[in-house]
């Protein structure tokens, strides 16, 4: 996806409004009929539609993921639940290095459109950390289980 400078500025402005909303309400689930800021409710709804129809750029998806954006209202998986899944994985495997392809639990397999898959969730936490978008509380929780913030990748032969 390519966007004009103006489109990017407008998107960034709305994203910042969503960040402020999340800071105040601890959620990104802005009602479409949000009276205090009707444009924000519409914008959030539009992001879900763009995502559903795959008409949103990956970098925008990643930015929204980093703030815990809820893509499907019926499928909310809280961060804390994913953290507990990671703790269980660590207890079993003595590592927090979870592959994108982790298939032992069907819910924890390759992430396509469902944010409940552990491998991708772990990757998203690393991305948020690198971009300094990870909340301090979450960083401390991940550090408490010796979370691997970077993974050395060995090239395939």
Angle, vertex CA 85, rays to CA 79 and CA 90, nearest 5: 125
4 pLDDT band, cuts 50/70/90, is: very high
- The model's pLDDT over 46-103, given as tens digits with 9 standing for 90+, comes to 999 999 999 999 999 999 999 989 887 654 557 777 788 888 889 998 988 887 666 5
Stated pTM of the model: 0.51
| Short-list 88, 73, 156, CA closest to 121 | 88
| Short-list 17, 31, 142, CA closest to 67 | 17
Tokens of 4: 């004009």
- The model's pLDDT over 108-146, given as tens digits with 9 standing for 90+, comes to 433 223 445 777 778 888 888 988 888 888 899 999 999
**Total length of the chain:** 157
Domain ranges of the chain: 5-67, 79-144
């Amino acid at each position: 996806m390519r966007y004009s400078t103006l489109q990017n500025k407008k998107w960034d402005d709305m994203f910042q409004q969503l960040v402020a909303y999340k800071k105040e309400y601890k959620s990104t689930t802005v009602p479409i009929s949000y009276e205090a800021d009707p444009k924000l409710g519409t914008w959030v709804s539009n992001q879900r539609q763009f995502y559903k129809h795959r008409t949103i750029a990956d970098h925008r998806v990643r930015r929204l993921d980093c703030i815990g954006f809820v893509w499907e209202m019926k499928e909310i998986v809280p961060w804390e639940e994913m953290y507990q899944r990671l703790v269980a994985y660590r207890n079993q495997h003595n590592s927090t290095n979870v592959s994108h392809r982790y298939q032992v639990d069907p819910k924890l397999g390759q992430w396509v459109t469902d944010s409940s898959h552990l491998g991708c969730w772990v990757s998203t936490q690393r991305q948020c950390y690198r971009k300094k978008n990870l909340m301090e509380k979450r960083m401390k929780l991940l550090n408490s289980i010796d979370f691997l913030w970077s993974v050395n990748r060995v090239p395939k032969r």
